[in-house]
Amino acid sequence: MMTSIVGLVVCAVLVFALQRALVRLQLSRAKHRSLAGHSRMARRFASVVPFYEYDEAHFFRADAAPEPVAAARRAGFMRLAGVFRQRYAQTAELTEEMVADVSDLQFTSRYRVPFQFSRFVREHLRPGAFLASSSGVTVTDMDGNRFYDLTGSYGVNVFGYDFYKECIARGSERVRDLGPVLGAYHPVVAYNVRRLLEISGLEEVSFHMSGTEAVMQAVRLARYNTGRSHLVRFCGAYHGWWGDVQPGVGNPIAARETYTLKDLDPAALRVLGSRRDIACVLVNPLQALHPNVNAPGDSTLLDSGRRAHFDRAAYTAWLKELREVCTRRGIVLIFDEVFVGFRLAAGGAQQYFGVRADMVTYGKTVAGGLPVGVLCGLGKFMRRYREERPADVCFARGTFNAHPYVMGSMFEFLKRLEEQSIQEIYHRLDAVWNSRAGTLNERLAAAGLPVRVANLSSIWTICYVQASRYNWMFQYYLREAGLALSWVGTGRLIFSLNYSDEDFTAVSNALVAAATAMQADGWWWASPQLTNKSIRRNVLKEMIQARCLSPMGSMSSPRSK
């Protein structure tokens, strides 16, 4: 009798242990094999990458190109440096004066190109961080240079800067009598709420100061209302800078209640279908352009491995599967539309992909050019207190939420969204932007240039089709050709929807001219030995050497700022 009880207990323990092991294995299988899929490993790897940099000779021959090629690159670089010095003199000077005092400027100026090249580039090619004015699809710097704007102001600029200037001016006028009174609402809020509920198809709204805050609120409420601890995000997806949604590099501590799963993969669905601790799934539909990959920036352009391609049918099918498993398991499905909302369709990604979420975050453009975050959700997930347990509340309020000036500008934005002219823009959106990308790619291919573009509507990424260590140089040729990029360079070009065909042709001409100049200067020198794999291998070797043997041969040891 006694032995059979012991046997039963042992059996139960074994079954339990096996079950746990299986659940753990399921989670491991649902992680992307890249470092982006393994947050802890990525942070550990980042902490051991040593600083080293190329001296001047190695700077131009990091791919072991022949000396004449290096000489052509040097000549091209110094010519560009001369152009930058002259053309952007005042803008660069003002930036120089500020850089030591503004930590953000220090960061962005340092991380424009891979760190091995960064100091030399900073010394010679200073794009400047100031602008004096905007008009149409252009911005003008302190020296009077006009650029076609491809920064899109981080995605805020959907309809053109003049549109937002009007929203802000008219919105300010509308709320002027109340002024900056906080706590109570200005009556424009009533219209904003009604329109946001119509657009989102959801039941309640909360206002915040930024997209990051709206995401924080969404996750906090999902945890509170499901009683579960964990959030799921997909590999590579950006959801703002809050620690729980940024578990990898960039966050000094581990995010312990976050699962980072593979996008577009049945293994992730299996995890969602079996675990009991998942409160919500965060989806950033921008990842449809580059699933499982971090937002592209030129500082990580070590080789030409950057890939991007948008498959609308595949992504739609994926969202439908996610919807199904979330409904079945009582998991809150959150679409983070801070970036893509109002850019893909009037009803945002929900409308574009034909899938409904339980919560949706908006931000960037929705306050007509002023800072904001918005959360819309089903009532049952937005609740912040419990009738039956009055002391158990979910507290999240902010001083500036629903600021009258922000609400005024949002009112103007949402009103204008109803206009026929805006609706027409939305109707033609995919046809216009896909055809523009296609035409540009044909031109680039016909000219024998190793550059292509990939797009999700008006959000573009530049890809490189031939192995090279110098693709990051392209951003400087583009600037010389009159195109303004954000600090992530060719990783992200954002067009506003007021680009006419003529404007777009001018941008295409500039892009082709810039690539032609860069090619002529030898940066895209090719050899059969030079492959993405060989580049990565060499960089890894350099890192190992730098860790073991610093200072070494053609590289120098760390320098101070």
Ligand X SMILES: Cc1ncc(COP(=O)(O)O)c(C=O)c1O
CB of 164 to ligand X, least distance (A): 15
Output DSSP code: residue 50. Answer: P
| Interface region with ligand X, contact rule CB under 6 A, candidates 322-330, 334-342, 431-439, 529-537 | 334-342
Q: Compute CA distances 367 → 196, 346, 374, 382, 482, whole Å.
A: 11, 15, 9, 21, 29
Among 363, 408, 489, 491, binds ligand X (CB under 6 A): 363
| Interface region with ligand X, contact rule CB under 6 A, candidates 136-144, 206-214, 319-327, 517-525 | 206-214
| Interface region with ligand X, contact rule CB under 6 A, candidates 113-121, 133-141, 142-150, 205-213 | 205-213
Beta carbon nearer to ligand X, 374 or 453: 374
CB of 236 to ligand X, least distance (A): 12
Beta carbon nearer to ligand X, 192 or 284: 284
Beta carbon nearer to ligand X, 62 or 129: 129
Which among 197, 193, 202, 231 is positioned nearest to 377, based on CA atoms?
202
Beta carbon nearer to ligand X, 174 or 364: 364
Among 76, 171, 211, 377, binds ligand X (CB under 6 A): 211
Are the C-beta atoms of residues 262 and 292 closer than 8 Å to each other?
Answer: yes
CB of 237 to ligand X, least distance (A): 7
The crossing angle, in degrees rounded to 10, of helices 188-200 and 404-417 is 50
401 binds ligand X (CB under 6 A): no
State the Cα–Cα distance between residues 546 and 554, nearest whole angstrom.
11
CB of 198 to ligand X, least distance (A): 22
State the Cα–Cα distance between residues 162 and 399, nearest whole angstrom.
29
Residues between 212 and 271 that touch ligand X (CB under 6 A): 212, 215, 238-240
CB of 341 to ligand X, least distance (A): 9
Beta carbon nearer to ligand X, 375 or 546: 375
Are the C-beta atoms of residues 523 and 73 closer than 8 Å to each other?
Answer: yes
Contacts of 20 (CB under 8 A, 6+ apart): none
Among 151, 153, 210, 468, binds ligand X (CB under 6 A): 210
CB of 207 to ligand X, least distance (A): 13
Among 60, 77, 117, 339, binds ligand X (CB under 6 A): 339
Total site size for ligand X, rule CB under 6 A: 13
Are the C-beta atoms of residues 336 and 361 closer than 8 Å to each other?
Answer: yes
Residues between 271 and 300 that touch ligand X (CB under 6 A): 284
Beta carbon nearer to ligand X, 127 or 211: 211
Q: Compute CA distances 239 → 10, 212, 243, 248, 281, whole Å.
A: 45, 7, 10, 13, 12
State the Cα–Cα distance between residues 467 and 70, nearest whole angstrom.
17
Beta carbon nearer to ligand X, 128 or 152: 152
Beta carbon nearer to ligand X, 118 or 210: 210
Beta carbon nearer to ligand X, 485 or 512: 485
Which among 225, 229, 230, 205 is positioned nearest to 383, based on CA atoms?
225
CB of 277 to ligand X, least distance (A): 23
Strands of the 146-149 sheet, one edge to the other? 133-135, 138-140, 146-149, 483-484
CB of 487 to ligand X, least distance (A): 13
Residue sitting closest to ligand X (CB): 211
Beta carbon nearer to ligand X, 127 or 363: 363
Residues between 69 and 128 that touch ligand X (CB under 6 A): none
Beta carbon nearer to ligand X, 366 or 462: 366
CB of 250 to ligand X, least distance (A): 13
Are the C-beta atoms of residues 167 and 414 closer than 8 Å to each other?
Answer: no
Phi, psi of 280 (to 5 degrees): -155, 160
Beta carbon nearer to ligand X, 118 or 246: 246
For 560, other C-beta atoms within 10 Å of its C-beta total 3
| Interface region with ligand X, contact rule CB under 6 A, candidates 75-83, 204-212, 303-311, 451-459 | 204-212
Q: 240 is written with which tokens?
A: 């703002």
CB of 59 to ligand X, least distance (A): 32
167-183 b/e (C-beta count within 10 Å ≥ 16 → b):
bbebbbebbeebeeeee
CB of 212 to ligand X, least distance (A): 3
Are the C-beta atoms of residues 322 and 269 closer than 8 Å to each other?
Answer: yes
Q: 132 is written with which tokens?
A: 């004096």
Output DSSP code: residue 34. Answer: S
CB of 242 to ligand X, least distance (A): 8
Alpha helices in 30-185 (DSSP H): 39-48, 56-59, 67-87, 89-99, 103-110, 115-124, 161-175
Are the C-beta atoms of residues 410 and 372 closer than 8 Å to each other?
Answer: yes
Q: Which residues bind ligand X (CB under 6 A)?
A: 154, 210-212, 215, 238-240, 284, 336, 338-339, 363
